[in-house]
Amino acid sequence: MSIVSKSVTRQGRLITLRYEFDDTTVREVKVRGDSASAANAFLLRHEPRVLASKVAEDADSALRNDSDAAQGDATQIQVYKAWMFKGFRASDPVNSYKYLSKVANKVLALGLTKAQLAAAFEEDVTTINAVLAKWHYVKVNRTAIQAYKLIKEGM
């Protein structure tokens, strides 16, 4: 992934920062500033956030497409993280199991320690412990969760 062009448009104090990526995606950020030098500083300062936003959008695209494969500029580990955290945050155990089971065994098969996984996911170890604990809980209770799903669907 790379930004192929950056531009600044000023209209009074409103500055529009425009970033165009090699896949033709365009991101615009609007900020307030007083001068051309402020505009150029904003352009540099916002670039990391714009890049992170693009990657996050590509990982979310994998979820929307029900895919566990890397898409766009998102890496495989970023897609795994998106699925794991979608399952972790799901309050319904049926959905939690559905999302976590999509990638949890693949993540564990990487053979990473919890500290390495935390670094790969850019999270702290406590959060990774909580995510893995939820996976263990829904995996162990899979039969009850599937029964609950059948009852829920029959209502």
The more confident residue out of 24 and 129 is: 129
Helix (H, G, I), strand (E, B) or coil at 13: coil
Q: How far apart are CA 117 and CA 77, in angstroms?
A: 9
The more confident residue out of 146 and 72 is: 146
Tokens describing residue 72: 């766009």
Model pLDDT for residues 119-128, shown as the tens digit of each residue:
999 999 999 9
Lowest mean pLDDT of 12-16, 80-84, 121-125, name the range: 12-16
Where residue 1 falls among pLDDT bands split at 50, 70, 90?
low
Would you kindly state where each structural domain of the chain is located, as residue ranges? Answer: 3-64, 76-154
Rounded to the nearest integer, the mean pLDDT of the chain is 90
Strand partners, 152: none
Tokens describing residue 155: 């209502």
Please give the pLDDT value at position 22: 79
Model pLDDT for residues 27-77, shown as the tens digit of each residue:
888 888 777 777 778 888 888 888 888 888 899 999 999 999 998 889 999
Q: How far apart are CA 65 and CA 71, in angstroms?
A: 10
How would DSSP label each residue in 125-141?
HHHHHHHHHHHHHHHHT
